[in-house]
Amino acid sequence: MALAAFESSPIKMDPKKAPQFTSVARRLAGANLQAHEWELLSSVLGHSLECRAGHDIEKKDTKPSRCRLVLMGFVGMARTLADGRRQMVDIHLPGDITACERLGGAQANVAFVCLTDVRYIDVDSIAQMVDDEPTLFPGWQKFLKDLEEEAHVRLIDQVVRTGRMVAHERMADLALDLFHRFERVGMTASGSFPMPLTQDVLGDILGMSTVHVNRTLQQLRREGLIRTTSNRWQIVDMERLRHVAGGNQSRPGGTTTH
Amino acid sequence: MALAAFESSPIKMDPKKAPQFTSVARRLAGANLQAHEWELLSSVLGHSLECRAGHDIEKKDTKPSRCRLVLMGFVGMARTLADGRRQMVDIHLPGDITACERLGGAQANVAFVCLTDVRYIDVDSIAQMVDDEPTLFPGWQKFLKDLEEEAHVRLIDQVVRTGRMVAHERMADLALDLFHRFERVGMTASGSFPMPLTQDVLGDILGMSTVHVNRTLQQLRREGLIRTTSNRWQIVDMERLRHVAGGNQSRPGGTTTH
DNA sequence: CGCACATTTGACGAGAATCAACTGCAGTGG
DNA sequence: CCACTGCAGTTGATTCTCGTCAAATGTGCG
């Protein structure tokens, strides 16, 4: 059991008492952190930060952080064009890091927008220590590297999504992507996953207008593929949804070529 | 002068006699390689490889390489959907590395396609040595890291391009991007840069049909923004082309918010 | 209740894909 | 030398996806 490793770690943390840590716990459970690596985390875990929906993540008082670990909520990596059009380049969920700034972010000209109320911790100091002395923190190094690789693959997926898929394919593909990512951190329940985003924001993610998001969603609902409540989506027919997405979503160990 | 540093390096290489190395020379000139780091390069420079247009880069005999340095030609990082649609996720030009496989490429499900005849060298062995002992090769480490960061920014740009720009904006933005990248490696001449790609491939890059690429190009030509010959594009009116692209293309030190 | 905000609906038009045909051009072989 | 071939580019006609505008409906909240 993944959580067991986390519970038996030097840092005592009961997921039932601190549910905001469960996603990160799932992630770190596979990282094989050593005792002194857990200590790194304990030094910052108490200082989780909050950012309200609609605001950019940014520390006004101190220097901007390059690396944050999301505990709760959705963070969007967004670029805004001169005329106001906005494109979400990537979405960060609980357990992800906003590590773009470690990879050329200075040139990227993107902002990290809280799409919901967000709770996160600043792990920039940890990242810097790991960068300086990678051999001292093998668990953290692998953890950070894995998260960055995943973000890289997500970017590639996002290019394909916006570049070559039509509306209902984009929507289906996104739903599957989010489902699998929430599944890994134990936040799914009977095929459903958190979806508190407005159709407006969904449009900025998928590169389409709000109205078209609405109509595309209706189509998927009408065909019995998904069900939506105010802050959750449920996948009703996984197999057909995959088919709509084109069978191209990267699922663990999935095959690809037709 | 950038080339001077390269010419005075331990490896003698006259750009006039070996023009295929000039792009890499420009790049490495800024990397401040130490003597023993130049040696690394010399061990592989003689073994440049070739791949014909239309084929995937892949070494059949040995294990697949994770890291290649492009000397000449265009390499496309492509994903093909089940029904045959294809999206170019990134384009690698002379002086770039095809380093995707170093960053989660195993999951990325992309192929490296030669969009022209391509000449490249396999620097996987170098990359592995640098990964193992980064402190021994500070110049190479920074060089590889910079190239990866640039690739990351290009991915972000590509998401915005395909997600939120209309056809003529995409085309203008791409033209400017390519121009600036060729400029850095000294392959521009009076506002022109190499463009040997077919409109078919351009469609796969920009996420639009071949016919629409054709019509969009005609529009840009008609408006006096670019001129095209069989294998070069010339930017006629940089200022207005930037305006068409939305003023959002990342140029060195450029400002952004309106 | 009134307000702000999100979702939904309809009507219309613009942008882009598709299909099919045609042009221009370089290479190839008779 | 010229016909033939293949390929990239071009054009027109048509269809369809999607964006825009505007209004209506629903929903939570002070």
Token digits of residue B175: 């033209």
**Residue with more model confidence, B241 or A8:** B241
Interfacial A residues in 152-181 facing B (CB < 8 Å): 152-153, 155-156, 158-160, 162-165
Interfacial A residues in 93-122 facing B (CB < 8 Å): 100, 103-104, 107-110
Hey, are the CB atoms on B152 and A246 less than 8 Å from each other?
no
- For helices A210-222 and A199-206, the axis angle rounded to 10 degrees is 100
Sign of CA dihedral B172, B173, B174, B180: positive
Chain B neighbors of A155, CB-CB under 8 A: 152, 155-156, 159
**pLDDT score of B63:** 64
Give the chain B residue nearest A105 (alpha carbons): B153
Query: B12 CA to chain A: closest CA distance, Å?
Result: 32
Please give the full DSSP string across A174-218, using - where no structure is assigned.
Answer: HHHHHHHHHHHTT--BTTEEE----HHHHHHHHTS-HHHHHHHHH
Note whether A55 contacts B: Cβ–Cβ < 8 A: no
Q: Fill in the DSSP letter of residue B196.
A: -
**pLDDT score of A25:** 82
Query: B255 CA to chain A: closest CA distance, Å?
Result: 10
Query: A248 CA to chain B: closest CA distance, Å?
Result: 7
Instruction: Report helix, strand or coil for B141.
Output: helix
Q: Which of A10-24, A107-121, B45-59, B125-139 has the lowest mean pLDDT?
A: A10-24
Token digits of residue A200: 């407006």
Hey, are the CB atoms on B250 and A150 less than 8 Å from each other?
no
**pLDDT score of A11:** 47
**Residue found by looking up tokens 């995959």 in the block:** A242
The answer to whether B105 CB is within 7 Å of strand C is no
Give the chain B residue nearest A147 (alpha carbons): B104
**pLDDT score of B107:** 73
As a whole number of Å, the CA-based R_g of chain A is: 19
Q: Which of residues 163-202 of B touch strand D (CB under 7 A)?
A: 198-200
Sorting pLDDT into bands at 50, 70 and 90, what band is B256? very low
pLDDT in tens, chain A (258 residues): 334 445 445 444 554 555 677 788 888 888 888 888 888 888 888 889 999 999 998 755 456 677 899 999 999 999 999 999 999 999 999 999 997 666 666 678 999 999 999 999 999 889 989 888 888 999 999 999 899 999 999 999 999 999 999 999 999 999 999 999 999 999 999 999 999 999 999 999 999 999 999 999 999 999 999 999 989 999 999 999 999 998 765 544 333 333
Alpha-carbon distance B79 to B82, whole Å? 10
**pLDDT score of B4:** 42
Considering CB atoms only, which of B150, B164, B206 is closest to A207?
B164
Report which of B206, B232, B201, B237 is spatially closest to residue B220, judged by C-alpha positions. B237
Token digits of residue B28: 């490495």
The phi and psi torsions of B77 (rounded to 5 degrees) equal: -95, 110
Chain A neighbors of B250, CB-CB under 8 A: 107, 109
